[in-house]
A and B are shown apart, each in its own frame.
Chain A
Amino acid sequence: MEERDLERQFKNINPKPSAKWQENALKHLNNVVTDSLDNRNSNTNLNNFFYSITMNTKFKAILTIATVFTTFAIASGVVYASDSAMPGEMLFPVDKAMEQIRRTITVNPLDRAGYEMDVMDERVLELKKMSEGEDSLGLSKAISEVEAQQSRVRAMLGEMTQLRAGDMNQAQEQLEVMNKLAAKIQNNEEVLGEVQNRLELKSGEATQAGELQRVRDSFSEDMESEIKNFEESTGLKVEAKETEQNQGEEPQNQNQAEIKAGDENGEGEPAQDVQGVQEMNKGDNGNR
């Protein structure tokens, strides 16, 4: 048998699913879509449920408040300490757990997108700190954490695209988030670039420098494409700027406080790092 005959016979193979399956599968997919949309609202329903229970009687209200205060008093110390924990440290999972809770209670997709961008800042700053030390394993973990957070930002942008497809009125509200995204990308790119330079200069960190390069390139490319898609689909122009409200907000945690301190120095860098970075840049210029 010749190849041509084989090709012809392959084209004749045409198994088909049953019509009944096609009908049932379509129904099933419809249910899957409905469930996924319901789940998005379930957090709000859960909040309403607890609200109705606790507001039923004064006793339940007092008990709830007392429990919350007691728990808060115990947990706040741990939570506060965990906020500055680095990847690989014991309290880092607590920090991540607190972020997960915040995600769960942040129902509005735009608020959530803003929050994911703030967490991205935190991950980038953690990576920067790790790059200053000698913990190679922790450094790899910090790079992975940055990449994982970038995926969350990507997912939120996907959700925003979907919302926009259903309601173009969303575009104007989303513009604010996109502006914030563009500003954050610029800031983070600068910090990540400095981290990469530092890793390239350090002996034994070439692998991590390569890995970071890959993570940066992939994210930059995706974000450029997201911003371009947004501009093309809405006709709005994205500009790298944070909202006035966000600029006036207190930093969310110690790491963000550090960014703010750096910004006040006009460098976008923490004050104590300015000299080190300048030295590093000098060395870097000589190497390129």
Chain B
Amino acid sequence: MSINQLNSRQDLEDLFKWLNEPLYKYVYIRCGYNRELAEDITQDIFVKAWEKRSTFNPSKSTLKNWIYVIARNHLIDTYRKKKISVKSFDEDIYVKDLNISVEDEAVVSDILKNLDRLKEKEKEVIVLRYVQDLEIEDIAKILGKSKNTTKVMIHRAIKKLKYIMNK
């Protein structure tokens, strides 16, 4: 499913069905693996999208990129208001939420623990590129940076993660 307008009740419903899971995943990893908080924030993102629908310009952006920008800004606001207490990944508590196979559990836990050791901006680009599987061009638009800068940021972040993990 892919839509590029937000004018009616039906559009909002379609948008929710299309993007609630990817956005939840993005928020969940960025807000300290807190399931309830991630659900609240994800719902707020869709409410904000509806309230700001008149600012969406389909000739300038896709609806998907636009809502990721809203999600990103909303997370920053929530951090600023200190509603999020940043926690590190705890395999005993969170691994069951990740829907991964038993044999991959240990590796993924290790990756997420080390991901939390990166700076927030590095973590963000890794999540957008590898967990959300977004194209570099789309990530650049979401972050408001050039494509080349974004490519370099992703490359440096993944290299740093690899270095930390192999240390």
A residues contacting B by CB (< 8 A) are: 1-3, 6-7, 9-18, 21-22, 25-26, 28-30, 32-33, 36, 154-155, 158-159, 161-162, 165-166, 222, 225, 229
Contacts and interface: CB of A to CB of B under 8 A. Distances in A.
Given A10-B126, A15-B29, 8 more contacts: A3-B159, A6-B158, A14-B25, A16-B24, A18-B35, A28-B47, A33-B12, A165-B7
Contacts of B12: 29, 33
Interface in B34-89: 35, 38-39, 42-43, 46-47, 50-51, 53-57, 59
Contact of A161 (B7, B29, B131): B7
B104 to A, nearest CB: 5
B50 A9 contact: no
Interface of B: 5, 7-9, 12-13, 16, 20-21, 24-25, 28-29, 35, 38-39, 42-43, 46-47, 50-51, 53-57, 59, 97-101, 104, 107-108, 111-112, 126, 130-131, 133, 158-159, 161-162, 165-166
A28 B51 CA distance: 14
B131 A26 contact: no
Given A15-B97, A17-B42, A9 B107 contact: yes
A21 B39 contact: yes
A33 B50 contact: yes
A36 B7 contact: no
A162 B52 CA distance: 13
Contacts, number: 116
A56 B74 CA distance: 48
Given A12-B101, A13-B108, A28-B43, A158 B130 contact: no
Contact of A166 (B7, B25, B54, B56): B7
A30 B7 CA distance: 13
19 contacts: A1-B162, A3-B158, A6-B161, A6-B162, A11-B133, A12-B104, A13-B25, A13-B29, A15-B35, A15-B97, A26-B13, A29-B47, A29-B50, A30-B9, A30-B13, A33-B50, A154-B55, A162-B54, A165-B8
Main secondary structure of the interface of A (DSSP, over half): helix
A37 to B, nearest CB: 9
A14 B12 CA distance: 24
Nearest to B115: A10
A228 to B, nearest CB: 8
B21 A16 contact: yes
Nearest to B97: A15
A162 B16 contact: no
A10 B51 contact: no
Contact of B28 (A3, A9, A12, A15): A15
B5 A165 contact: yes
A32 B42 contact: no
Given A21-B39, A22-B20, A29-B16, A13 B98 contact: yes
A154 B54 contact: yes
